[in-house]
Amino acid sequence: MKRRLLSISTLFPAPQRPAFGRFVARQASALAARGDWDVTVLNPIGLPPVRLQRYRSLEAIPAQEQVDGVDVHHPRFPLLPGLSGPFNAALIARALLPLARSLHAERRFDLIDAQFFYPDGPAAARLAAALGLPLAIKARGSDIHYWGTRASALRQMRKAACAASAVLAVSAALGRDMAALGLAPRGVRVHYTGLDHRRFTPLPRAAARQRVSTIPGLGISPEGRMIVCVGALLAIKGQDLAIRALPHLPDDVRLVLAGEGAEEATLRALAERSGVAARVRFLGSVGHEHLPALLSAADVMVLPSEREGLANAWIEALACGTPVVIADIGGAREVVTSPAAGRIVARTPEAIAEGVRSLLEAPPSQAEVAATVARFSWEANAAALAEIYDEIA
């Protein structure tokens, strides 16, 4: 008999923000596609009492929709930007509980899960207690490394962890960090991310470069060697270190930044001061349909983040045959398991440049690079998740 999962996730795509939490949506649809679990997602949308400009597009998100076989609800909850962080879990739970009760009364759920440890975890714990259901909580990175340093949030996370029948992490390294914070009273189940091998597969590098050079608006040159950095333009992602590494690399090496964020102006100014502005290209948000070709076109993917659990960008780059240069954080050593996969380096411009240089001078074949992540797939991700959930439901 098919079991029913109620999944709580503050990150989930919607027509107004299609890339927002896409990996959560893929996990949900992969689990639903198996046929043994029916999945319903509650994606709470935080809106402030006074509508600031950046929140206005969220008002158009539909209350309910179907996404790849998953029933998705987008209930609203009150948000005070910059102030309500310690209370968001309680605000979310209060907003979700009436809907969760109604859905549960129509067709009983067997399990509740939270897709992030905060604020999703404590909110889901309140719903699980109210409905008398077992609970699973997954940690992905910043929910541990950021909120785990906030006393109020950590207290709520520990309480939720004690109530959970299973606690999951995207890497063994993240699981060790959770244990150190008291978030693993019954141990941690490592649950790796998935990957769509039909989309993220090596395209011959020269052909891929030619293809992306013809995409309007990107302005990518088909000449020279290219480093790509995929991720939101945030200080913790370390794009500044990638820019500072450029002067240590040959003049024909260019850096392409795919992403948007609050640090763009700062990064542009840094490129100017460093004398490499002509070698840095800001692409903004790149459509998901163009990302595999962009990754295949690059000689190296650099992402010197300050913290990660296990970044999807690492896996996607490797699947496209592009080696990575990343810092020794999170699950880096669980991904870069051979020289073909890339280099783990210190978070300094010089070390990043040396890692890139070594890969440019002796590039591994794209097929060899892609083979390092053959074990990642959404089918494997769903199978592992179903096994865990079957044990506790």
pLDDT band at 318 (very low <50, low <70, confident <90, very high): very high
pLDDT band at 164 (very low <50, low <70, confident <90, very high): very high
Average pLDDT on 164-183 reads 97
Residue 80 pLDDT: 85
Residue 235 pLDDT: 94
pLDDT band at 200 (very low <50, low <70, confident <90, very high): very high
Average pLDDT on 225-244 reads 96
**pLDDT tens, position by position, 7-43:** 999 999 888 788 788 899 999 999 999 999 999 999 9
Report percent pLDDT > 90 for the chain. Answer: 87
Domains of the chain, CATH where assigned: 3-194+377-392 (3.40.50.2000), 205-371 (3.40.50.2000)
If you count them, how many residues does the chain have? 393
pLDDT of residue 248 exceeding 90, the answer is yes
Residue 305 pLDDT: 95
- Alpha-carbon distance of 257 to 232, in angstroms, equals 9
Residue 328 pLDDT: 96
Residue 53 pLDDT: 73
Report percent pLDDT > 70 for the chain. Answer: 100
CB count within 10 Å of CB 348 equals 14
Average per-residue pLDDT in the chain? 95
pLDDT of residue 52 exceeding 80, the answer is no
3-state secondary structure 58-87: HHHCCCEEEECCEEEECCEEECCCCCCHHH
Residue 217: exposure state from Cβ atoms within 10 A (0-12, 13-18, ≥19): exposed
**Beta strands 70-73; 64-67: pairing state:** antiparallel
| Lowest-pLDDT range of 56-60, 140-144, 340-344 | 56-60
Q: Are 135 and 164 in contact (CB under 8 A)?
A: yes
Residues 6+ apart with CB under 8 A from 350: 245, 248
State the pTM of this model: 0.92
Residues 6+ apart with CB under 8 A from 77: 44, 45, 46, 47, 88, 91, 92, 94, 95, 96
pLDDT band at 136 (very low <50, low <70, confident <90, very high): very high
The amino acid sitting at 213 is: S
pLDDT of residue 133 exceeding 80, the answer is yes
**pLDDT tens, position by position, 331-372:** 999 999 999 999 999 999 999 999 999 999 999 999 999 999
| Lowest-pLDDT range of 55-69, 129-143, 157-171 | 55-69
pLDDT of residue 54 exceeding 80, the answer is no
pLDDT band at 306 (very low <50, low <70, confident <90, very high): very high
Residue 15 pLDDT: 81
**pLDDT tens, position by position, 88-99:** 999 999 999 999
- Alpha-carbon distance of 302 to 227, in angstroms, equals 7
